[in-house]
Structures are given as C-alpha cells and as structure tokens.
Amino acid sequence: MTDLMLEKLLRFQHPERVLPFARDLDAHILAAIFRTDEANYRSTLDFLDRQRELAAKRLADTPDVRSHLDRLPFRPGDHLVAIGDSMTADRLSWFELLRTLLKNERPDLGLRLDNLAVSGATSTQVLASLPAIRRQSADWMFCMLGNNDSQQLDTAGGKLLVSRSETLRNLTLLRARALPADTSRWVWLTPTPVDEARVATFPFFRSAGITWTNADIAELSATLLADDDPVIDSAPAVTSAGADAFTDDGLHLGITTHEALAAHVLAELAEGTRR
C-alpha cells in the first residue's frame, strides 16, 4: 500500500463508527486494519491533523469568519452532532474544520461536537442507526445526505441506488425521530454537486459500473431547499473553489471546498438561516 493510499483511507474511513460493538480499538489495532504499522498510522493521522489545523487557521484569519464567530447562536455547552456520508466523515471536512475552528477560537462556549458520518452511507443506512443517533441528545443536528442515494447504476440515466421516494421517506423519518427534544435545532446541508467528467473517467467508478449526475443531485437539493427547517446550500462552496473543488475522483471535495463550506455554514448560522 502506498502512503497516498493510506492517507486517502485514513482521511475517509473510521472503523470505530461501523464497528460500535468492537472494544478497545487502539492505534495498534486500527493500524492493522489498514495494513500498516502503528508508527506509519500515527504519522499519517498527524499529517491530516496538520492540514486541518492550517485550514482552520486560514479561516480564522478571514475577517468575515472572525465576525461570524462572534455572532453564533449556540449556548455554552451545546452539543453539535453531524450525520451524513463521506462529505462529512472526511477528516478534513467542513464539520471537522468547524470543530477545530470553534475549539481554537471560541473555547469560551465549551461546545461538544460529535461526527457520526460514515463514508459510503445512504439515507437508508443512516436511518438504521437511528437509536445511536437519538442517544446523542443533540442540541443541534446537522444532516448532509443524498450523494450516495443519487449514485446511478451502470450508466447516467440508470437506476438510482436509493429511489428518490425512498430517500425522501428516510430523510423525513430521520427528521421526525432523531431529536428527542423539541428544543433541539435541525439544519440540513444539501448534497454537493460533482464533476461529471472526472466521475465518468475515474477508473474505480468505471469498473464498478457506477456514476453520478448533477441533475439528480440538484433535484434532491431543490426538495430540501423547500423544507421548513434551515437549509444550507452546498453548491456555492463548490463553485467558489473552482478548479480545486474536487479530489481526483470528481466526487469527493477538496479541502478548498471544505473551507468554503465551513465558512458558508458559519455565515448562515451567524446571520440566521432563511427560516
């Protein structure tokens, strides 16, 4: 396994989230799962941690971000929870950048952030983990799902991995049942657009017979944007990142996009989302 492959695996995969029954998953065991030694495992995690800290520092040095950090709607001690797929599970994701930024710049709030996102998860799989989500007793729940549901089998125009009606049913049930308290807040993030050209030529996707189209993602996003809860549109962050918006597969976001999305989420929270 190359170091680049290990970096990509560690960036997106969290065995402890899909093996909740496993106990004492220490660094030695986790390194073995990724077929590497503990020293290489730790050094790769340190590398990703440094990237995240640098990205959070760039955000903190932005005047708009600094202003928004002073006007957040959170109460001291609030518990923020994120559910979703690889767009959130990513160790360099918008949510992990917010975690680092809030820890460094607003320690006075004493916020607790828990990321439950699992790479590859569909809305059906997240719904199946509803009991664990409810146990979090979140004060704020951030939900970003739909990219994997929108995966098409075989070719563009093929069957969706999860039908649109099933996706909407799953999201409705999550919204209705994931928060045990009426005082808790729910925030949607729309699924992100993709780079269709990169997706179409990425070797793994081609050999697996899967693809994505922006038309499907935009249709689902439009449904969310019509919801009564606060909705944060992820598309502008992708647009603002330009050529650096995606990793090589055209599906996963580059850190530039995650920085833009983290800043966008902060702005929406500070200024009051449109609902």
Domain CATH code at residue 223: 3.40.50.1110
Domain encompassing residue 138 = 3-271
pLDDT at 42: 96
Q: Do 164 and 124 meet the contact criterion of CB atoms below 8 Å apart?
A: no
Q: What pTM was estimated for this model as a whole? A: 0.95
Q: In angstroms, rounded to a whole number, what is the distance separating the alpha carbons of residues 94 and 72?
A: 16
Q: In angstroms, rounded to a whole number, what is the distance separating the alpha carbons of residues 133 and 72?
A: 24
Counting the structural domains of the chain, the total is 1
* Main-chain phi, psi angles of 135, to 5 degrees: -65, -15
Regions of the chain short of the pLDDT cut 70: 1-2, 273-275
Q: In angstroms, rounded to a whole number, what is the distance separating the alpha carbons of residues 227 and 186?
A: 11
Q: Do 105 and 60 meet the contact criterion of CB atoms below 8 Å apart?
A: yes
pLDDT at 36: 94
* Main-chain phi, psi angles of 141, to 5 degrees: -115, 125
pLDDT at 275: 42
pLDDT at 2: 56
Q: In angstroms, rounded to a whole number, what is the distance separating the alpha carbons of residues 114 and 166?
A: 27
Type of residue found at 163: S
pLDDT at 158: 85
Q: In angstroms, rounded to a whole number, what is the distance separating the alpha carbons of residues 275 and 269?
A: 11
Q: Which residue in 58, 14, 68, 44 sits closest to 256, CA to CA?
A: 58
Tens digits of residue pLDDT in 191-216: 999 999 999 999 999 999 999 999 99
Tens digits of residue pLDDT in 70-98: 999 999 999 999 999 999 999 999 999 99
Both tokens assigned to 106: 């607003």
Q: Do 211 and 156 meet the contact criterion of CB atoms below 8 Å apart?
A: yes
Both tokens assigned to 171: 């999201």
Token look-up 């390194």 returns: 31
pLDDT at 21: 80
Q: How would you classify residue 42: left for phi > 0, otherwise alpha for psi between -120 and 50, otherwise beta?
A: alpha
